[in-house]
A and B are shown apart, each in its own frame.
Chain A
Amino acid sequence: MDPRNRRYLFGFCLLLFLLLLLNVLNLAIGSVRLSPGGLLAALGGMGSMETGARILLQLRLPRMISAGLLGGALAVSGFLLQTFFANPIAGPFVLGISSGAKLIVALSMIFALSRGVLLGSLAMILAAFFGSLIAMGLILLISTRVKQMSLLVVCGVMIGYICNAVTELVVTFADDANIVNLHNWSMGSFSGIGWSSVRVIAVVTFLAVLLSFLLSKPMGAYQMGEGYAQSMGVDLKRFRLALILLSSILSACVTAFAGPISFVGIAVPHLMKSLFRTAKPILMVPACFLGGAVFCLFCDLLARTLFAPTEVSISSVTAVFGAPVVIWMLLQRKGRRG
């Protein structure tokens, strides 16, 4: 077999193996430990392990599935944004898109709660999508004036700060009853996601990732440069719009259910490029999806077990593992140029 194909095969096998391993660990480890036998029994629906089964089916399984799906969504969203801006440090978090989504979700949540209504999962996604698009619009507006990518990222971080400040303000003046709920969410966490939400997450994520995968041909051409993509027959306007919408909906989905999560969108695509030694979208989209899932499952496992029973916010854990990867990547790039 061609050594490159062998590398790709190895990469995917490794990712699948890690995914499986982390799935088992995530189900087994927690305040109540379950043995592998117990796991199987509970999953099989046998009655002997009733508490275990309930913990597994009501808490750990939906949490595991959503952490995996949302992690994958985040990584793919990051990869799309990096392709769009031709910038390896672009991602939904640094460009302020997650924070924009968070702001609008917080506003809608408080508004709905003040009327005594609880927002459904679809409404949350829509609010987050709307917020993402506003932040994205701002970034695009700035990008017409600012050509330098590092400046654009700085602007994105600033937009993020502004959105966070407004969110904090809104939370401070909201009714006490809402705050606890909102505060937890705005820190970022996979906890408390129920089966009904998992269903919505699964449908949205799978559709968006599938559509992204179908965009991999024009994405590959776009990676070379706009002019070349256009001369090879890419309809730039439509392609850019599709890229923006897909990355926004993916990151919106994450923000709506788990709050803003940092660095996954930058670190995972970079790790995958290093693992596969290619940036071809047709490989990178599925690889980022799997890699993001593995990364988030691993971080979530740490977030809930490290200082149990207290949970650490998922964003702090992803930052601890993601930020060094980003620094390593920047140093590597600098080295290559110098």
Chain B
Amino acid sequence: MRELIFSAEALTTGYGSHAVLREVSFHLRPGEILCLIGPNGAGKSTLLKTFARQLAPLAGTVFLAEQPLDAMSENELAKRLAIVSTERVRGELMRCEDVVAMGRYPYTGRLGLLSEEDRAKVAEAMELVEMTELKEKPFEELSDGQRQRVLLARAICQEPEVLLLDEPTTFLDVRYQLEFLTALRRLVRERGVAVILSLHELELARRVSDTLVCVREGRVDRTGAPAEILTDAYIETLYGMEPGSYGAFFGGGPQAAPESAAPAESARGAAEGFFQNRACPHFPCHSGVPEEDFNCLFCYCPLYALGEGCGGACRYTEKGLKSCADCAFPHRRENYEKLLVRYPELAALAGKK
């Protein structure tokens, strides 16, 4: 049996004295992918921040190999653990290659000058995520999918043993999601890196991960192999949906994540296109709609993939939550269906731009 590379024991974490998650325990071996799933605000990002030591645990310990995380120096930790977070990267006047090269930080000298070896590692990481042709391009001009791959390359450059990814596919349309996860798989296979990531797309989680950790209501609800966990009934419990609504909408079992479904078809297949998650701390995240009609499916609004083409002022908050100021389809019960019908038109319009 391979040794453990990363483990948490009776970990309680949160902000100030407020605990967001209690009594989290699990372990991870090299080459394994562990995926955190659960509703918005359940504490997935908080947990990842604690693993990256950006947040001190309130109780319990995190171990990297056999060593407690807080006993390691900054530089040592940076050489062994890397993170791709939801923090928006400011890449003023940086080319892709510059962003990736930043990953060599823990290995370079006082002034951060790159050696030949560093350059080779940068090139290798860009090759792995297939971004080599774009290395001279300014980072700010990249699409969301390309950015995410560049950030993955940056993390790869850090040559970590453990890689943390906080909702790495959130900004991406289905093609980029697949490309991203393919690059990730390659990384795990070729280098034996252990990965912990949080995902919203259940189908992706099912395909990519070895272990699922379900976070709900301030604790770890279940841990296990994806096939055991991802049943319709459990998904509805996890996300606080009305019984039967998940299967009805997605036609029995999560065949595809909401964003990746061909929207017009799912609209036809949808019984109602409506669910509510009243356990979500942000519920209802928009005003102007009666609470009983408030439709949480908009959290998975496919218009985000269109960017500006969506027509409203759609954006992500710092926490990576979706927030649209003047949406043409507010969160009303019946509107999700209308939106799915309109989606192909909008997508075509955005494509023309």
Contacts and interface: CB of A to CB of B under 8 A. Distances in A.
Given A224-B99, A225-B89, A227-B85, A233 B77 contact: yes
A130 to B, nearest CB: 31
Contact of B111 (A214, A225, A233): A214
A230 B112 CA distance: 16
A225 B105 contact: no
Contacts of B111: 214, 216-217, 282
Interface string A231-266: 111110000000000000000000000000000000
A201 to B, nearest CB: 26
Interface in B232-285: none
B158 interface: yes
Interface in B84-140: 85, 87-94, 98-99, 102-103, 105-106, 108, 110-113, 140
Interface stretch (A47-55, A192-200, A271-279): A271-279
Contacts of B108: 217
Contacts of A223: 90, 92, 94
Contacts of A214: 110-111
Contact of A224 (B78, B79, B90): B90
A226 B110 contact: no
Interface in A272-315: 273, 277-280, 282
Given A234-B74, A282-B111, A228 B89 contact: yes
Given A216-B112, A217-B110, A228 B88 contact: no
A231 B78 contact: yes
Contacts of A277: 93
A278 to B, nearest CB: 5
A30 interface: no
Contacts of B87: 225-228
A86 interface: yes
A227 B85 CA distance: 8
Contacts of B85: 227-228, 231
Contacts of A226: 87
Contacts of B77: 233
A65 interface: no
B75 interface: yes
A38 interface: no
A277 B112 CA distance: 19
Contacts, number: 76
A11 interface: no
A231 B89 contact: no
Contacts of A216: 111-112
A280 B98 contact: yes
B88 A225 contact: yes
A233 B110 contact: no
B94 A282 contact: no
Interface in B214-234: none
A233 B98 contact: no
B339 interface: no
Contacts of B99: 224
Contacts of B88: 225
Nearest to B86: A227
A209 to B, nearest CB: 15
B54 interface: yes
B5 to A, nearest CB: 17
A221 interface: yes
Contact of B93 (A228, A230, A279): A279
Nearest to B101: A220
Nearest to B138: A277
Contact of B83 (A217, A231, A278, A282): A231
Point out which of B75, B102, B110 has the most chain A C-beta atoms below 10 A from its C-beta.
B102
Contacts of A273: 92-93
Contact of A279 (B83, B89, B94, B112): B94
Interface string B70-81: 000011011101
Contacts of B158: 232
Contacts of A280: 98
B90 A225 contact: yes
B64 interface: no
B177 to A, nearest CB: 22
A232 B102 contact: yes
A239 to B, nearest CB: 10
B82 interface: yes
Contacts of B212: none
A233 B140 CA distance: 24
B106 A221 contact: no
B193 interface: no
Interface of B: 52-54, 74-75, 77-79, 81-83, 85, 87-94, 98-99, 102-103, 105-106, 108, 110-113, 140, 158
Instruction: List the 6 closest A-B pairs by CB distance, nearest first.
Output: A233-B78, A217-B112, A232-B105, A233-B74, A227-B87, A279-B93
Given A217-B111, A235-B74, 18 more contacts: A214-B110, A217-B105, A221-B102, A224-B91, A225-B87, A225-B90, A227-B52, A227-B54, A228-B87, A228-B102, A231-B54, A231-B83, A232-B105, A233-B78, A233-B105, A233-B106, A279-B94, A336-B140
Interface of A: 86, 214, 216-217, 220-221, 223-228, 230-235, 273, 277-280, 282, 336
15 contacts: A214-B110, A221-B105, A224-B91, A225-B89, A230-B53, A231-B78, A231-B81, A231-B82, A231-B83, A231-B85, A232-B106, A232-B158, A277-B93, A282-B111, A336-B140
